[in-house]
Amino acid sequence: MDYDILIVGSGPAGQHAAWQAARMGKKAAIIERKPSIGGAGLQTGTIPSKALREAAYLASRTGTQGMREASRTARYGVMAEAVRRKDMVITQQESVIVKRLLKSGVTLIPGEASLVDAHTLEIIDSKGVSKKLSAEIILLATGSRPRRPSHIPFDKKTVLDSTSILNLKKLPGSLLVVGGGVIACEFVSIFAALGVEVTVVDSHEQLLAYLSEDVVGVLAESFENMGVEFHMQERVAAVSIEEGRTLTLLESGKRLYSEAVLYALGREPNSQSLNTPMAGIELDQGWITVNDDFQTSVPNIYAVGDLIGWPALASTGMEQGRAAVLHAFAGKTHAMPEHLPMAIYAIPEISWVGKTEKEAKKEKINYVVGRGHFKESARGQIIGDINGLVKLIVDATSHKLIGVHIVGEHASELIHTGQMLMHFGGTVHDLVGNVFNYPTLAECYKLAALDCMEALNKSALP
């Protein structure tokens, strides 16, 4: 065999698999078909969108109306600066990742890989030169791409997906966003904060339909304050490009014109190029099926990251890659954490871990809810976030924390306090008795816990 492990795809999942294999002294290589490593995590998804979000967020903090007050020229300047900063972050991160991989002994092989059999890959480079490499273990981490239905005329300039919108050279005057999910909310935030007139069309009653109304309501209000227009419970029938502008026709008959359209309705797996039938790998609608140890139906072939579907995050892909390699070479069954944190880097951020109220109700759990509002904390007042909220869901019988939902500044960071408490089976009493730094937003955990105690005392009354 040429290698102990061959990893297809250099996104977060592939990188962390390779790094773990190298730390275990294994001969590992990553095969990547794009000229740059990093996948959607670094090149077209997580990091660029977060870098743009940060620039837009800072711009939105200047004056009460943010960039809406600024001239178009000033806004173009902000966009150019945001793109420059995004590209700089990507370059720096790429250098960190490449150095880390090379230093630990991982080989980087350019080219597109496909399966020849359970232990062999064919790799074709950009010049069309083909070679075959074999390994004891093959790990597939080829990720996903935006879903692009054939009836939508994507052109990378006016009708965009989450990849092409990152390469816009010029800020559009208006943007229509199709979808109310994670990608939609993050890009609505970025463009609305930069002063673009944003319109949202979504088939659900509310944005982020799986989350509670009280949490999403804070985000929706922020969007409304930034001038975003909503067409909820509406479906897109067609999108066309007419004389340099777009026309979005809704099933209800409404006609909406905008300079650009972002279509953000889900992602599709990158499994076609892998030639999975050659090794007999099972798929479910293109997504690769794996067991709890990330083995495919062919035991020496593992699959991780977006390629296996939900939760399809950079954060979870990294840990799946590490866990798969541990299982392959050490036989350890590494259970993924039960409580996965989720974050939406909108303006404001939303983050949560554990159950929603809807899920708790569905599972017939007797629970109470407590809220700690940022406006009640000195830090919330100091930083000017008076709409933020920490919401706790607590099992009324065991008093254990079963869900934490945060909306507001630093929600994606604050969530880890709740996540760790849930991991160790902590109760609401641990939060009530804890000492938090003062003044901090984290104190809202204590405020929310005290609110829960009131609800628990009430629920204990005969």
Judge whether 180 is annotated as a binding position: yes
Q: Are the beta carbons of 263 and 183 closer than 8 angstroms?
A: no
Least distance from C-beta 287 to ligand NAD, angstroms?
12
Question: Minimum Å distance from CB 314 to ligand NAD?
Answer: 7
Question: Interaction with ligand FAD in 164-193: which residues (CB under 6 A)?
Answer: 183
Please report, as residue ranges, which positions from 400 to 459 form the binding site for ligand FAD (by CB under 6 A).
Answer: none
Question: How many Cα neighbours within 13 Å face the side chain of 332?
Answer: 10
Q: How far is the CB of 224 from ligand NAD (least distance, A)?
A: 19
Any contact of residue 348 with ligand NAD (CB under 6 A)?
no
Distance between CA atoms of 311 and 305, rounded to whole angstroms?
Answer: 9
Residue 367 Cα distances to 42, 360, 429, angstroms: 40, 7, 15
Can residue 270 be called a binding residue for ligand FAD (CB under 6 A)? Answer: yes
Please say which residue, 293 or 430, places its beta carbon nearer to ligand FAD: 293
Q: Is 341 in the site for ligand FAD (CB under 6 A)?
A: no
Would the annotation count 181 as a binding residue? yes
Shortest separation between residue 29's beta carbon and ligand NAD, angstroms = 27
Q: d(Cα 363, Cα 325) in Å, to the nearest integer? A: 35
- Touching ligand FAD, residues 288-307 (CB under 6 A): 305-307
CA–CA distance, 436 with 439 (Å, rounded to integer):
8
Q: Which is nearer to ligand FAD, 318 or 392 (CB)?
A: 318
- Reference 323, options 334, 339, 309; nearest CA is 334
Element (H, E) at 29: strand 28-32
Rounded CA-CA distance 259/148 in Å is 19
Residue 347 binds ligand FAD, judged by CB under 6 A: no
180 lines the binding site for ligand NAD (CB under 6 A): yes
Among 225, 251, 226, smallest CA distance to 238 is for 251
Residue 200 binds ligand NAD (CB under 6 A) = no
Under rule CB under 6 A, residue 91 binds ligand FAD: no
- When asked if residue 181 is in the footprint of ligand NAD (CB under 6 A), the reply is yes
CB atoms within 10 A of CB 252: 10
Instruction: Give whole-number Cα distances, 419 to 214, 336, 354, 440, in Å.
Output: 20, 14, 8, 18
One of 20, 142, 246, 356 touching ligand FAD (CB under 6 A): 142
21 Cβ contact list (under 8 Å, min separation 6): 4, 5, 7, 28, 106, 325, 329
- DSSP codes, 83-118: HHHHHHHHHHHHHHHHHHHHHTT-EEEESEEEEEET
Minimal distance, residue 310 CB to ligand NAD, in Å? 7
Kindly state whether residue 45 participates in binding ligand FAD, applying the rule CB under 6 A: yes
Q: Which residues contact 364 (CB under 8 A, 6 or more apart)?
A: none
Q: Which two tokens stand for residue 244?
A: 């340099």
Residues 301-340 that bind ligand NAD (CB under 6 A): 312-313
What, of ligand FAD, ligand NAD, none, does residue 12 touch, CB below 5 to 8 Å by kind? Answer: ligand FAD
**266: contact with ligand NAD by CB under 6 A:** yes
Alpha helices in 313-442 (DSSP H): 314-330, 357-362, 378-383, 411-423, 428-432
The yes or no reply on residue 40 touching ligand FAD (CB under 6 A) is: yes
Query: Least distance in Å: CB of 254 to ligand FAD?
Result: 27
Answer yes or no: are the C-beta atoms of 254 and 236 closer than 8 Å: no
Please tell me whether residue 184 binds ligand NAD under the rule CB under 6 A.
Answer: yes
179 in a known ligand binding site = yes
Answer yes or no whether residue 182 interacts with ligand NAD by CB under 6 A.
yes
b/e map 285-294, b = 16+ CB within 10 Å: eebbebeebb
454 annotated as a binding-site residue: no
Q: Which is nearer to ligand FAD, 153 or 181 (CB)?
A: 181
Q: Does residue 11 have a known ligand-binding role?
A: no
Q: Taking CB under 6 A as the rule, does residue 343 contact ligand NAD?
A: yes
33 lies in the site for ligand FAD, by CB under 6 A: yes
**Residue 318: what are its φ and ψ, rounded to 5°?**
-60, -45
Pairing of strands 3-8, 130-140: parallel
63 forms part of the interface with ligand NAD (CB under 6 A): no
Query: CB of residue 133 vs ligand FAD: minimum separation in angstroms?
Result: 12
Can you tell me whether residue 39 is helix, strand or coil? helix
φ/ψ of residue 424, rounded to 5:
-95, 15
Say how many residues touch ligand NAD, by CB under 6 A: 16
Q: Was 137 annotated as part of a binding site?
A: no
Binding to ligand FAD by residue 39, rule CB under 6 A?
A: yes
Where is the binding site, in residues? 50, 142-144, 179-186, 266, 306
Where is the binding site for FAD, in residues? 50, 142-144, 306
Which spans of this chain sit near ligand NAD (rule: CB under 6 A)? 179-184, 186, 264-267, 312-313, 343-345
Which spans of this chain sit near ligand FAD (rule: CB under 6 A)? 8-14, 31-34, 39-41, 45-46, 49-50, 112-113, 141-144, 162, 183, 270, 273-274, 305-307, 312-315, 317, 345
Where is the binding site for NAD(+), in residues? 179-186, 266
